Amino acid sequence: MKKKSESILGMAFFGPALVLLTVFLFLPMILTLIFSFTDFFALNPGLTHFVGLDNFFQIFHDEDFRQAFVNTICFVIIIVPLQGLGSLGLALLINKVTHCKRYFKVAFFLPVVMSLAVVSTLWVQIYGPEGILNSILAHFGIPAQPFINSASQALPAIAIMSAWQGVGYQMIIFLGGLQAINPALYEAAEMDHATGWQKFKDITLPELKPLCIFVFITITIGAFRMLVQPMVMTGGGPSHSTYTMVYDIYETGTVNWEIGLASTMAIVFAVFVMILTVIQTILTRDKEEKHENKKAKNL
């Protein structure tokens, strides 16, 4: 009797969330999967056919999607080392600095609190042909650059801006990791007259390794999802140079209403992101367990 009333109570508590999860997560996921095998066009749903894998062939022959895919990969390749190494470097420096530590933390974290729309709007002005960045470059004798107005510079320009915006976030994660390293390790190294570089290579880096994997994959996932910056700054241009996968999903699905095709793109996109997430989970969990085992052995 008691067990039965607990079941009812549990479902009553879990119920509201379950209804919303079903309508807004399970159902959309199933529909995305189903639609990806159809030519579902929301403005004319009556004409929907099952087309098998046609959509998957079609999107990879589609010039726009291929370009969006390449752009997304390029964006990842630029931003991951920039933001990952940048945040690690900043964390190491701030950990070391003895004066105004708090100011430095706040200063490098400040862009994180600004929204993507704000940062994008601001940097449209900064990257302007007669903007402040070109005027600073002129002081160093560098001629004016077109930045977001040229097909070759727009994507790197957006990547640099995005790294600038996000670097403080990972910096805080790394600072947390640095503070968690047992100071006894450094004391022992000092007794052995280890140099600063040796201490970094043999203590800091190995201790931070799980965190590094976590941070680099987090940045990669974030970069895959990039959309707002080109939406606000370039509209995907010039000549599709800042068109991303999510941008293509968004335009195909919500502007052109070709939900079948958009679903196929969404599946391809989700597979990439979820593989990355699973790799991240396995690698970081594995390392932590080994770490725990090592600790247990030492005790």
Partner 1 sequence: MKTRKQKICNWILAVVMLAASLFFLFPVIWMAANSFKTDAAITRDMNSLAAFIPPALNGNFFDNYITILTNTSFLKYTVNTLFYAAVLIVIGVIVNGLAGYALAKIKFPFRERWLMIIMLLMIVPMETIITIHFFFIAKLGLLNNVIGYILPMIVNPFNIFLFRQVFVSLPDDVYEAAQLDHCSPIKYFFTMVLPMSKSVVATVSVFTFLNVWNDYLWPSLVFTSGDLLTAQIGLNAITANENTTMGQTLAVITLVTIPVIIIYSFFSKQIVEGVVSTGSKEG
Q: Which of residues 195-254 bind partner 1 (CB under 8 A)?
A: 214-215, 218, 221-222, 224-225, 227-228, 231-232, 246, 249-250, 253-254
Segment lying near partner 1 (by CB under 8 A), choices 57-65, 69-77, 151-159, 255-263: 255-263
Q: Is 286 in the site for partner 1 (CB under 8 A)?
A: no
Give yes or no for residue 17 binding partner 1 (CB under 8 A).
yes
Can you tell me the distance from the alpha carbon of 159 to that of 78, in angstroms, rounded to the nearest whole number?
Answer: 7
Size of the site for partner 1 (CB under 8 A): 89
Binding partner 1 (rule: CB under 8 A), the pick from 59, 148, 233, 267 is: 267
What residues between 134 and 163 interact with partner 1 by CB under 8 A?
Answer: 135-136, 138
Exactly one of 53, 118, 142, 205 binds partner 1 (CB under 8 A); that residue is 118
For partner 1, the closer of residues 165 and 241 by Cβ is: 165
Q: Which two tokens stand for residue 217?
A: 């994959």
Burial class of 2 by CB neighbour count within 10 A (0 to 12, 13 to 18, 19+) = exposed
Q: Where does this chain touch partner 1 (CB under 8 A) — which range of 72-80, 140-148, 169-177, 195-203?
A: 169-177
Among residues 74, 116, 203, 283, the one that binds partner 1 under rule CB under 8 A: 116
Angstrom distances, CA of residue 226 to CA of 189, 287, 298: 43, 29, 44
Cβ-proximal residues to 216 (8 Å cutoff; 6+ apart), any chain: 80, 84
Structure tokens at 239: 């000549």
Binding flags for partner 1, 36-65, as an x/- string (CB under 8 A)? ------x-----------------------
How far apart are CB 241 and partner 1 at their closest, in Å? Answer: 21
Alpha-carbon span 136 to 122, nearest angstrom: 16
**CB closer to partner 1 out of 129 and 206:** 129
Q: Please tell me whether residue 75 binds partner 1 under the rule CB under 8 A.
A: no
Region of 49-57, 58-66, 194-202, 273-281 interacting with partner 1 (CB under 8 A): 273-281
Helix (H, G, I), strand (E, B) or coil at 195: coil
CB of 170 to partner 1, least distance (A): 9
Report which residue type is found at 194. A
Q: Please identify which residue in 50, 60, 103, 200 interacts with partner 1, judged by CB under 8 A.
A: 103
Nearest one of 195, 205, 216 to 77, comparing CA atoms: 216
C-alpha radius of gyration, the chain, whole number: 24
Q: Please return the burial class of 283, using the count of CB atoms within 10 Å of its CB with bins 0-12, 13-18 and 19+.
A: middle
Determine the interface stretch with partner 1 among 50-58, 65-73, 122-130, 192-200 (rule: CB under 8 A). 122-130
Peptide bond into 238 cis (omega under 30): yes
CA dihedral 148, 153, 159, 162 (to 10 degrees): -20
The CA-CA-CA angle for residues 71, 80, 149, to 5°, reads 40
Phi and psi at residue 50, in whole multiples of 5°? -80, 125
CB of 136 to partner 1, least distance (A): 8
Q: Interface with partner 1 by CB under 8 A: which range of 48-56, 58-66, 131-139, 150-158?
A: 131-139
